[in-house]
C-alpha cells in the first residue's frame, strides 16, 4: 500500500504551577503570580504541539530529541524545540497543515492572549495563524489542574506529504 498523504499526531503534556517562575504559554509570557516549573521554559503548550508534530512524522518524542538532562535546553525557549521538530518533519517530506490544541487551566483566563499565542506557534511552524486553533478549558476544579496546581495541554497536528 502507498504511504498516506495525510498524517495525524497527538501530543500531551503537564507541568506544575509554582511560585517564582514565569508563565509562558505558546511562547507568550502571561502576567500571573505563578509559573510553570521544568528544565526548559516549561511551555506546556509548545511541548504538546512539538510531540504532536513528532508523532505525525513518527519521529519519537520530545524527550528523545531534547533531553531534560541536556544543558542546551535549560530555560530554553520551547518555540525553538517546536521549530526544530517542524524542520525534522519537513526533512521527512511533510508540510504542516494544521494544529488544534487545548490548554487546560483554572486561572488566569487566557482569552485575551489567544491571538498572540496562535501567532507565535504559527510563526514557529511557518504557518498562517488561521491554521492554528487554540482552545482553553478549566478542569471544573477537579484534580491537580482543577486545584490550580498544574497546567495541561493537548494537541493534534496534521501533516501533508509534499508533492
Residues making contact with ligand C5P (CB under 6 A):
105, 109-111, 136-138
SS3 call for 79: helix
Binding site for Mg ion (CB under 5 A): 13, 47
Minimal distance in Å, beta carbon 124 to ligand C5P? 22
Which DSSP state fits 136?
Answer: E
Pairing of strands 150-161, 6-19: antiparallel
Minimal distance in Å, beta carbon 23 to ligand C5P? 11
Judged by beta carbon distances under 5 to 8 A according to partner kind, the member of Mg ion, ligand C5P, none in contact with residue 136 is ligand C5P
Minimal distance in Å, beta carbon 105 to ligand C5P? 5
The dihedrals phi and psi of 153, each to the nearest 5 degrees, come to: -140, 145
Q: Which residues lie closer than 8 Å to 48 by C-beta, 6 or more apart?
A: 11, 12, 13, 101, 153, 154, 155
Which DSSP state fits 10?
Answer: E
Pairing of strands 132-137, 94-104: parallel
* 62 versus 153: smaller Cβ distance to ligand C5P: 153
* 135 versus 162: smaller Cβ distance to ligand C5P: 135
* 39 versus 137: smaller Cβ distance to ligand C5P: 137
Minimal distance in Å, beta carbon 151 to Mg ion? 10
Amino acid at each position: 500500500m502507498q504511504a498516506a498523504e495525510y498524517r495525524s499526531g497527538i501530543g500531551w503534556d503537564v507541568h506544575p504551577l509554582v511560585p517564582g517562575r514565569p508563565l509562558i504559554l505558546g511562547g507568550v509570557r502571561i502576567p500571573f503570580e505563578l509559573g510553570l516549573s521544568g528544565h526548559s521554559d516549561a511551555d506546556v503548550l509548545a511541548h504538546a504541539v512539538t510531540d504532536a508534530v513528532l508523532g505525525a512524522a513518527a519521529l519519537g518524542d520530545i524527550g528523545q530529541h531534547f533531553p531534560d538532562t541536556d544543558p542546551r535546553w535549560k530555560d530554553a525557549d520551547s518555540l525553538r524545540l517546536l521549530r526544530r521538530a517542524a524542520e525534522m518533519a519537513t526533512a521527512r517530506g511533510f508540510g504542516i497543515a494544521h494544529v488544534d490544541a487545548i490548554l487546560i487551566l483554572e486561572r488566569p483566563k487566557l482569552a485575551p492572549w489567544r491571538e498572540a499565542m496562535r501567532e507565535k506557534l504559527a510563526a514557529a511552524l511557518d504557518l498562517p495563524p488561521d491554521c492554528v486553533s487554540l482552545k482553553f478549558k478549566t478542569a471544573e476544579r477537579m484534580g491537580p489542574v482543577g486545584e490550580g496546581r498544574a497546567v495541561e495541554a493537548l494537541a493534534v497536528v496534521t501533516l501533508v506529504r509534499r508533492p
